A and B are shown apart, each in its own frame.
Chain A
Amino acid sequence: LLLTQPHSTSEFPGKTVTISCTRTSGSFASNSVQWYQKRPDTSFTTVIYDNSQRASGIPDRFTVSIDSSSKSATLIISGLQAEDEADYYCQSSDGHNVVFGGGTRLTVL
C-alpha cells in the first residue's frame, strides 16, 4: 500500500485549500484515513481520524471528502489562517501495515 500526497500547496488567508491522499490498493471504506498536522517545534497533532471525525479541539474548518471509489481522500481547510501553515500527513492501513503519505507542506501566503 502506498499513499500519495502532493508535495506542497499554498493559498491566501481566508481562502480554501485542499490536500489529496490517494491509495494504491484497498479502500478507505475498509481501512480508514487519518490526517496529522505537524508545525515546526511542536508534536504531531491528529486533525481527522476514521475518515471524517475531527479530533478534539480541531475547528470545523477542517473537513474530509472521500471519492466514490474510496481510494482518494481530500483534506479541505476553509477560512485558511496563518496558524494552519504546517506539514500535513495522511495515514491509513491495509490490515498488515500502517502507512503514511509523503506529507504536504501547506504555506499560507
Chain B
Amino acid sequence: QITLKESGPTLVKPTQTLTLTCALSGLSVNFRGVGVGWIRQPPGKSLEWLALIYWDNNKFYSPSLQSRVTVTKDPSKNRVVLTMTNVDLVDTGKYFCARTSSDDILTRGSFDSWGQGTLVTVSS
C-alpha cells in the first residue's frame, strides 16, 4: 500500500521560509514514472497546485508561485521536500502531497494517492 505523509511547522511568521516534507512508503521516489506533487487548500477555498517533481528529477512549478517555491527529493529518506520563501498570510492553508503515475501531469493523468495534509498558519 502506498502512503504519503506530510509534516512541517504548524505556525510560520510572515517573510519566513516554510519547509514541508512528504514521506513516502510503499513506493520509492526514484521508481521510474513516479511523480510527487504539492497542492494546497486555503481555508474555505479550493485547491491550488504548487509544484511537482518526477523520479528523474524533472521539476514543474505553478507559474504564479515559481519564484518562491522549490521542490527537491531525498532518495536516502524516500521523501520530497517543498520550500516556500517569503511566506505571507495568504499562504495559510492545508498542504497536501500527492503521487502521480502520469508521465505528463501538465497534459493528462491524475494524482492517484494523497496524503492527509498538514495545516500551516502564517501569522505574526
Contacts and interface: CB of A to CB of B under 8 A. Distances in A.
Interface stretch (B16-24, B83-91, B103-111): B103-111
B109 A32 contact: yes
28 contacts: A31-B106, A31-B107, A31-B108, A32-B109, A34-B109, A34-B110, A36-B110, A36-B111, A44-B96, A46-B110, A46-B112, A49-B109, A49-B110, A50-B108, A55-B112, A89-B46, A93-B107, A93-B108, A95-B107, A96-B106, A97-B49, A98-B37, A99-B49, A100-B39, A100-B46, A100-B49, A101-B46, A103-B46
Given A43-B114, A44-B98, A46-B112, A98 B46 contact: no
Given A89-B47, A100-B47, A46 B111 contact: yes
Interface of A: 30-32, 34, 36, 43-46, 49-50, 55, 89, 91, 93-103
A30 B52 CA distance: 20
Interface string B37-52: 1010000001111001
Contacts of A32: 107-109
Nearest to B112: A46
Interface of B: 37, 39, 46-49, 52, 62-63, 96, 98, 105-116
